Amino acid sequence: MSFQTTAEVLKLNRKDLDVVIRDVLEATPFLGVAAARSVASDNFKYTKLITAPSATFRAPNVGVDNTPSGYEEVSLALKYLDASFSIDTAVAKVDERGVDHAIGLEALAALRAAMVTVENNIFQGNSTNPATTGGGIAGGFEGLPGIGSLNAIADSQVISNGGVAANAQTSVYGITFGENGFELLWGEGGELTVSERMMVKETSSGALQFWAYAHEIAGYCGMKNGSIHSIHRLCNVDATATLDDDALATLIANKPVGQAPFDVIVMNRQSLRQLRESRTTYSPTGQPAPFPSATLDGIPIVVTDAILNTEAVVV
């Protein structure tokens, strides 16, 4: 299945900022590969598949009770992402390549920080539905921790790896992209609005003021989970519960036959290390195993620091 990513969907409304969106995504490996789409405004409505339809055999002249698909209408309020910045005129003016170059570098740094915030929001949730006690991204969208089918072992999309240490867990996700899967949503037609360059007074310590060049950069962002089978979670992975190929095979096998396969397996660096260490145990030569390849059973592995090692135990 082909789909667009943030690098293809997101755009700046001004051409005088020398910033390429693809460069902005260097610190956010998941956003670099995740499906994305533009949304007309700051709100998005869609229909989410909850249950599959049924069909059966029947005898002539004997009716059956076939059930239709179960759907849920979802309305998402996108959140306002602010990447505005300012830079001291005294700093910008001494840049050997000029003021525009200095402002461009600051804009790139601000936008990278904004994308890190979005990626963190996806996996850490917001302050209403945080992945950790007292955590989450303030003012953000609900993220994966806010999805009802991913926050309890009783959910068919969740598998526990057996970790029990309080606030020391992490998770591994299998994610399917596309219209019926996960999509990152960029509002206002996929545009980040960039203001004209402004001169503003900033305040340093002691309430002393100085002049700075500034740009407002902002837009609307959210995420969509198109089906209860879009995302599956292997939770309760900690330093004492080994993450190995058997656990990941269980995650892959947990997705029902007939559903689109996972497009990526997403984990953090601790999980990647544990996977390597589990393979070392079975090394016939006794040598340490190499780090896992870029794929698992043909599914790309995406490693991101946005998944924390301080999640609560999922029960």
Q: Does some domain include residue 201? A: yes
β pairing state of 198-203 and 209-215: antiparallel
pLDDT band at residue 183 under the 50/70/90 scheme: very high
Residue 169 predicted with pLDDT over 60: yes
What span, in angstroms and rounded, lies between the C-alpha atoms of 233 and 207? 49
The pair of three-digit structure tokens given for residue 131, joined into one six-digit string? 């992945």
Domain containing residue 130: 6-51+72-303
β pairing state of 36-38 and 182-186: parallel
Please state the pTM of the whole predicted model.
0.89
Q: What per-residue confidence (pLDDT) applies to 16? A: 66
Do 48 and 72 meet the contact criterion of CB atoms below 8 Å apart? yes
- Interval 228-263: pLDDT, tens: 889 999 999 998 778 999 999 999 999 988 788 999
Do 180 and 230 meet the contact criterion of CB atoms below 8 Å apart? yes
Sign of CA dihedral 204, 103, 213, 94: positive
Q: Does some domain include residue 262? A: yes
Assign 3-state DSSP to the chain and report helix, strand, coil percentages, each to 5: 25, 30, 45
pLDDT band at residue 68 under the 50/70/90 scheme: confident
Residue 200 predicted with pLDDT over 90: yes
pLDDT band at residue 15 under the 50/70/90 scheme: low
Q: Does some domain include residue 59? A: no
Q: Does some domain include residue 308? A: no
What span, in angstroms and rounded, lies between the C-alpha atoms of 70 and 68? 6
Question: How many domains, the chain?
Answer: 1
Sign of CA dihedral 117, 10, 110, 196: negative
Query: Average pLDDT of the chain?
Result: 90
Residue 1 predicted with pLDDT over 60: no
Q: Does some domain include residue 140? A: yes
Spatial CA neighbour of 161 closest among 101, 64, 237: 237
- Interval 257-308: pLDDT, tens: 878 899 999 999 999 999 988 887 665 666 676 767 777 888 999 999 999 9
| Average pLDDT of the segment spanning 116-131 | 95
Q: Does some domain include residue 313? A: no
Do 311 and 131 meet the contact criterion of CB atoms below 8 Å apart? yes
State the Cα angle at 13 between 10 and 16, rounded to 5°. Answer: 115
| Average pLDDT of the segment spanning 189-200 | 92
Q: What per-residue confidence (pLDDT) applies to 94? A: 95
Considering only residues 187 and 56, tell me which one the structure prediction assigns the higher pLDDT.
187
Q: Does some domain include residue 311? A: no
Q: Does some domain include residue 16? A: yes
